[in-house]
Amino acid sequence: MKTRLSWMVCLALALGAPAAALADEVCVLAAGAAKAALEKIGPEFQRATGHTVAAAYDTVGAQRDRVLHGQQCDLVVLSDGAIAQLASAGRLTGEQRQFIGSVAVSLAVPAGAPVPDISTPEALKQALQQAPSIAYADPARGATAGTHFDKVLVQLGLRSALQPKLHLLPFGVDVIKDVAAGKFALGVSQSSEILQHEGIAMAGPLPPPYALTTGYSAAVTSHKPAAQLLLQFMATPAAAAQFRATGFLAP
């Protein structure tokens, strides 16, 4: 810990932002998949630099659109596709990106419930047909997992047949909480949101050709020195460990 703090103090000085003299707040707009990790990284960053992190969470699409429509923030943590769109629109500051890991669209069941086999397309189809209820995040809100799963239902030819037992919730985190509470038999969300919750068990990622793995990165959207400092903090082993512990797959 002492070594990490010393390194961060040196970095802050190099960027012209001594923690004690210029403590600042970094406004972060992040996807829900990164919430658990950022809630751990924020306090570590504050202890190391004196700067604070004020983060807000929503779907990738909603956060991307906020920045595209002019909402001010200092740093975003979104899918690589959304980051690329913000870069094309000139909403990012500089070229630096920090890749934080990948997540996979996966299925979850309540802890203690039988875990269905979804290792093949046929097994997935059977598991969906046998489930009494299925929840996923509303595609209309820009949820990556929800949007993809909606397409998979169509590809499997199950959309109409399963309609009576499909439940749309605002966010992936809502899906996970309700599955953990036993309200739904199956939930669809990102692996990062599933693995960090003790009340559910992950059945696994969707099998090929229906699998979807999404890379996530952080990028700076303002000229605030503390935002650049946070971006670099996300490259430290301590920050990387938090992302891995909450379900992000290593590069």
Q: What is the pLDDT of residue 169?
A: 96
Q: What is the pLDDT of residue 106?
A: 96
Same domain, 136 and 200: yes
The verdict on residue 210 lying in a domain is no
Q: What residues are paired with 134 via a beta bridge?
A: 166, 186
Closest Cα partner for 228 from 127, 82, 98, 58?
Answer: 98
Same domain, 143 and 86: no
The verdict on residue 251 lying in a domain is no
Name the average pLDDT for the chain: 90
Closest Cα partner for 101 from 218, 234, 237, 248?
Answer: 248
Same domain, 171 and 94: no
Closest Cα partner for 28 from 53, 60, 58, 62?
Answer: 53
Q: What is the pLDDT of residue 192?
A: 86
The verdict on residue 197 lying in a domain is yes
Q: State the CATH number of the domain containing residue 238.
A: 3.40.190.10
Q: What residues are paired with 125 via a beta bridge?
A: none
Closest Cα partner for 30 from 199, 231, 178?
Answer: 231
Q: What is the pLDDT of residue 230?
A: 97
Same domain, 57 and 110: no
pTM: 0.76
The verdict on residue 83 lying in a domain is yes
Same domain, 71 and 88: yes
Same domain, 111 and 130: yes
Same domain, 90 and 110: no
Q: What is the pLDDT of residue 142?
A: 84
* Pairwise CA distance, residues 195 & 173, whole Å: 12
Q: What is the pLDDT of residue 2?
A: 41
**Which segments of the chain have a pLDDT < 70?**
1-21, 251
Q: What is the pLDDT of residue 135?
A: 98
Q: What is the pLDDT of residue 141?
A: 87
H helices, E strands: number in the chain: 11, 9
Same domain, 176 and 219: no
What is the extent of the structural domain holding 167?
Answer: 103-205
The verdict on residue 250 lying in a domain is no
What are the pLDDT digits (tens) for 191-235? 988 987 889 999 999 999 999 999 999 999 999 999 999 999 999
Same domain, 128 and 185: yes
In the chain, how many domains are there?
Answer: 2
